[in-house]
Amino acid sequence: MAQSNGEKENSERDQYFKKRAGTDDARFHVVPHDEEEWAVKTEGEDAPDYTSDSKPKAVKEAKRMAEEACTMAIIHDEDGKIEEQHNFQ
């Protein structure tokens, strides 16, 4: 059975994140978490590195982590779409 375009894109995205997981290239994402929380997650990891009840606090922490790791902080909106990116490379 052939993969649909959406399934193929998801598979390619998952492979991309797996390759970056645990490497210096892994980026930090601010994403909605649980009901009213926000999380900072490293690419390819399921568990959050940081959680907060406020998006601005999560963004601040993601930027700090990305700057320390010389990588990127990627901020998502409530629907999971990328809102902004901060490059510290």
The model carries a pTM of: 0.74
Per-residue pLDDT reduced to its tens digit, 6-47: 555 545 545 544 555 454 567 999 999 988 999 999 988 889
pLDDT for res 16: 47
pLDDT for res 74: 95
Res. 75 pLDDT band, cuts 50 70 90 = very high
Tokens of 43: 């690419």
Domain borders along the chain are 25-87
Residue closest to 28 by CA, chosen among 68, 80, 71: 71
pLDDT for res 49: 95
